[in-house]
A and B are shown apart, each in its own frame.
Chain A
Amino acid sequence: MKHLLLILFLMISGRSYAVDTRQLLDLKQQESYETLTKELRCLVCQNQTIADSNAELAADLRRQVYEMLEKGKSNDEIIQFMTDRYGDFVLYKPAFKGKTVILWIAPIVFLIMGLITVFFFIKRKKTSINLQNRADSLHMNEDKQKKIRSLLENGDIS
């Protein structure tokens, strides 16, 4: 019981906070700040967003986002600013276009390939089981027939 409680409390406490928080006056800007910093990749630590990372470059990019929001720039303008400088790689969620199409399509293709494989696998297994069953029943019949024949020819010895 004690352990269970401990585990329960540990689970509850697992809340993470952003590395730094800036306060913008406008609630909508604050929201933009939070979504933008979660959409932009930290280019030094590649698998973190700039909201998660405390690398120096991430801090500089957060400052940049903050200042641009303060100046009243829209989310799209800020995303454009970043991709102009760092390329599509700065976007954590890549844009859907020629170069990135394989990223978006590949999972679906793999899923379909998997489903097809499973389908044929099950189908083959089923037919092989059916054949096996039929062979078994034929086999049994043969045995029984032999017994019947011997009973008919020799009569019941027992």
Chain B
Amino acid sequence: MEDKLLAIFAEESHEIIDTLERGLLVLENSQDPEEINSVFRAAHTMKGNAGIVGFDSVVNLTHLMEGLLDEMRQGRTKPDAETVGLLLSGVDALKVLVNGYMANESPAPPAEIMSALSARLGEESPSPGQARVAAKANAAPRKDSRYRITMRFMPDIFTTGTDPLQLLMELAELGTIERVVCHVEDLPRFEKLVPDNLYFWWEVWLLSQQSLSTLDNVFIFVKDDNEITIAADDAPGQGPSPEPAPEPAPVASAETAPPAPAPERPPQAVAAKAPAPSPPGKAAAPAPVPAAPAKAPAPAQAFAPSPTIRVDTEKLDKLVNLVGELVIGVARVNQLADVAGGETDHTELSSAVEALDHISRDLQEQVMRVRMIPVEGTFNRFQRVVRDLASELGKKIHLEMSGSETELDKNVIEQIADPLKHLIRNSADHGLEPPQERLAAGKEDTGTIWLRAYQQEGKIIIEVADDGRGIDRNRVLNKAQERGLATPGVTYSDKDVYGFMFQPGFSTAAKVTEVSGRGVGLDVVRQNIEALRGSVDVESALGAGSTFRIKLPLTLAIIDGMTVRVGGEILTLPLLSILESIRPLAQDVKRVEGRGELITVRGEYLPLVRLYEVFDLPTERTDPTQALVVIIESVSKRFGVLVDDILGEQQAVIKSLEQNYQKVEGIAGATILGDGTVSLILDIHGLEKLAFG
């Protein structure tokens, strides 16, 4: 149970920290009071939550941040760069603190930030928002004391949700009620009676060991607005008992307490007698319940039920998997129906199977869609990244985002953040020029980085573009030759040249900067993206900027594949990587010393990979002119893959080999075909490694 609370706290903290960060960045540029409010609220909630789980350092830090934000809210402090900067460093410290606590440490609040915040607030020392000291312990007296308690309430007490009967019952729990007198003399004539009002008042004699303050606490919420007196009393309610005293009851009971003035007026009875379902709705207003909200100022949306629920991703994965199985199963039935239909007339069967096929595919699509979330969250994080980069590099950078509503599989989104961050750093560091250089080049001194997402042909495209200096082809080529990646004298296309940048160990940065050049190059970006079965390419114009374009599949669970045959095996190639397929002529295939086997495609020489050799599959079709060559494009190169035959295109639900067997180089997973046979799905990146080392 405790863990569950902590898990929720951790999850919510991340959301709050995101909100804080995003909100603060917006505030720096605008002074929107609504934004100030929402940032304040975030800090406020953070503090409250930390108090609940007992993370004092977080409480202390957020207390100060909240204070400063409150100043802002009151208009006493402006959200200038300095203030926002200070609060942002507070947010960073929050992350560290929360992580620390979650790792079972007891991190101390950051002294420097705390004192800077205190200084801004004009507080001498950080005053922790400590939990309020709990009510004084009651040293209960041994002996019973007698108390006389009078309770006179406002006539409309019921509409504050307080029921005097409950107070009587609470008193009864604290001791023995000797006597209760209910005064009914204020009850008006029936015509004047307001059913909602309370006309009675009570006198109670209580024998109790409790202290006066404990009894006082019973009335904690009502004593300010109602006449409540509690006094020690020696006489057991003879003297004080007023004249009209109608048969004093020995013990407080329902009969004495609410002898309801109007029989059909049971508000107090609602709370008291019946915790049961319907009463308040029926009792209070004659109007049917749905009519009531119509009077509310915000009627239409006011009663919208909660729009979202949280679901464990594991459950979703299971669902996706099961639906995948369903689709395969239906495809199988479909095939069998076809076979059966060939012999006899089975139109009804095949139309039923067809309908089933439709439904299961729709179902699959919908289930997949559940996993999709907008890239917005990830995108927004980069505002901060760019801001930090700009100050680190001494450049002026504006980040322009579009398409943040574009949806992607949650798994993909989680794994795309790092590569994107890297590309943005790359653009900020290598792409954009320092302000003077930009001015000298006749550009605005502020550089722009664009982050765009959109959907195209069933793929998600994410672009990181800048209006910087562009990629210097010759410098890249020189470097590639230096590193032995390119062969001097060979003519390379732009694409080939840019491809070198994605090779391991390639770095053109003349000097290693704090920002990039951390030994992690674009090759890692490529690997990450290819692991997501995506691809990345570059466009660039010298002096005008570069665009890195990432193409991603909509989902990781399904792959659009081309099924091919090699010997007795059926393999699936990811369609995303396939350019075309050809049947080569004898003169198109050559073996070149040092470069292996090559195939000419419209004058271009591409390496040829014989799949049956790579995977050691026995086949008769070893003559390329009798077989087919599928041209594959990966980030770094294009190459041909020799297969026996192409069987068709098919959506494949990917089953992980790693989970069910073990990782196999060059194989991304397996899928079950319509006829029930298993087909291995090739991993292009891995295949490339196998074939070219």
Is this pair of chains taken from one and the same complex?
no
